[in-house]
């Protein structure tokens, strides 16, 4: 019998990362590692960064806040009190780090307030009650709310094709227009995205709202007769701006400030991992509840475990970004204390800026 890894995270099979230049779209690194349980070996799985989609958790909250500000359902600096809310038909909704007290659009990103985002979701659907009456149903229009949110998310590159020069890229799995879907959409617990999409999304935030097409190939050169000389360029894959998000610059600025605080100020969800970095990083953490399903002999699927996805997006330097990244590790033990998303992200950024100093 072949030995199978047993470290408490028996359902973890993949760790995925994409690193790109947010201004040019050049892919600086593409990496995926897959653990094969049968062989007990690790193998490259770069394609999964483009072809697979997963729940991204709170990493998407930057798009949620930007959409709400542009739509006018919240105002810059508007505060709400973060404590559990109970909506009929749903489990109590609370933030991952506990009750956060009074937060605004920026500190809700810094501290990753689920409650603030759920209020946004409800408002996007037309339900403006605050504070929410306990155990009451919502009159939010789920279809209209999800339509509005997806409209803005698509502009950041999450939910739409990135344009990467690779065939058959995945876009998203979009859930039906349900109340539960609306409640959890803005916290990254409903639609799924690829790591390439997440990388384009954070690059768009870093790039002041300009979405640049990612590219694996910069140029193609004509064949030569010796193989020793660099030959003439056949085709250049120039930088292509796909769109400017239809969100005011001042609102993108507020999202950027929230991402900065998340990594660099006390109370930020990434503070303990990033505050000592000299290259001025900014970003957003993400944890998503996920389920593992296995196929039975009759062809149907059954849930075998409750797990979580750990995600992270970031960029640096904050004031003049030259690198952006997205990391995703799905299906960890739901009680795991792992910080693998931060460990991977920090090594990526440290290595990049160490090499820049050496050049």
CA distance 283 to 344: 14
Omega before 317 cis (within 30°)? yes
- DSSP states along 139-190: ---HHHHHHHHHHHHHHHTSSS----SSTT---EEPPPS-HHHHHHHTTTSS
Q: Which residues make Cβ contacts (< 8 Å) with residue 349, sequence separation at least 6?
A: 277, 279, 281, 314, 316, 323, 325
Q: Which residues make Cβ contacts (< 8 Å) with residue 351, sequence separation at least 6?
A: none
Q: Which two tokens stand for residue 20?
A: 């790109």
Helix (H) or strand (E) holding 326: strand 323-333
Q: Which residues make Cβ contacts (< 8 Å) with residue 260, sequence separation at least 6?
A: 282, 318
332 has which bridge partners?
A: 308
Question: Does the annotation count 58 as an active-site position?
Answer: yes
Identify the three-state secondary structure at position 261.
helix
Q: How many helices (H) and strands (E) does the chain have?
A: 10, 14
Q: Pick the catalytic residue: 10, 39, 45, 58?
A: 58
Nearest 10 degrees: Cα torsion 130, 131, 136, 140: 20
The stretches of 207-319 forming alpha helices (DSSP H) are 249-264, 271-274
294 has which bridge partners?
A: 302
Nearest 10 degrees: Cα torsion 93, 98, 102, 107: -100
Which of 44, 45, 27, 35 is closest to 10 using CA atoms? 35
Look at strands 192-193 and 172-173 and give their pairing: antiparallel
CA distance 82 to 229: 63
Residues annotated as part of the active site: 58
């Amino acid at each position: 019998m072949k030995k199978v890894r047993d470290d408490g995270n028996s359902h973890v099979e993949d760790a995925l990362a994409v690193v790109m230049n947010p201004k040019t779209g050049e892919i600086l690194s593409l990496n995926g590692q897959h653990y094969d349980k049968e062989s007990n070996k690790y193998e490259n799985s770069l394609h999964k960064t483009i072809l697979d989609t997963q729940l991204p958790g709170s990493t998407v909250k930057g798009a949620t806040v930007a959409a709400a500000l542009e739509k006018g359902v919240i105002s810059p600096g508007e505060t709400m009190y973060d404590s559990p809310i109970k909506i009929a038909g749903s489990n109590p909704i609370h933030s991952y780090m506990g009750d956060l007290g009074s937060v605004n659009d920026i500190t809700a990103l810094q501290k990753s307030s689920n409650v603030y985002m759920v209020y946004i979701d409800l408002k996007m659907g037309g339900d403006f009650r605050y504070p929410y009456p306990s155990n009451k149903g919502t009159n939010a229009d789920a279809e209209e709310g999800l339509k509005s949110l997806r409209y803005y998310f698509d502009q950041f590159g999450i939910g739409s094709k990135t344009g990467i020069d690779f065939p058959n890229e995945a876009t998203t799995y979009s859930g039906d227009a349900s109340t539960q879907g609306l409640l959890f959409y803005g916290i990254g617990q409903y639609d799924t995205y690829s790591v390439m999409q997440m990388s384009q999304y954070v690059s768009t935030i870093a790039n002041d709202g300009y979405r640049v097409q990612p590219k694996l190939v910069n140029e193609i050169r004509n064949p030569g007769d010796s193989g020793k000389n660099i030959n003439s360029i056949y085709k250049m894959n120039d930088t292509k701006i796909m769109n400017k998000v239809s969100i005011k610059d001042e609102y993108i600025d507020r999202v950027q400030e929230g991402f900065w605080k998340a990594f660099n100020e006390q109370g930020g969800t990434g503070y303990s991992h990033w505050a000592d970095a000299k290259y001025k990083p900014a970003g957003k953490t993400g944890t998503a509840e996920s389920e593992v399903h296995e196929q039975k002999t009759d062809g149907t699927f059954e849930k075998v475990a409750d797990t979580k996805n750990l995600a992270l997006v970031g960029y640096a330097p904050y004031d003049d970004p030259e690198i952006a990244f997205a990391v995703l590790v799905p299906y960890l033990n739901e009680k795991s204390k792992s910080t693998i998303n931060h460990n991977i992200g920090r090594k990526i950024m440290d290595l990049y800026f160490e090499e820049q100093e050496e050049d």
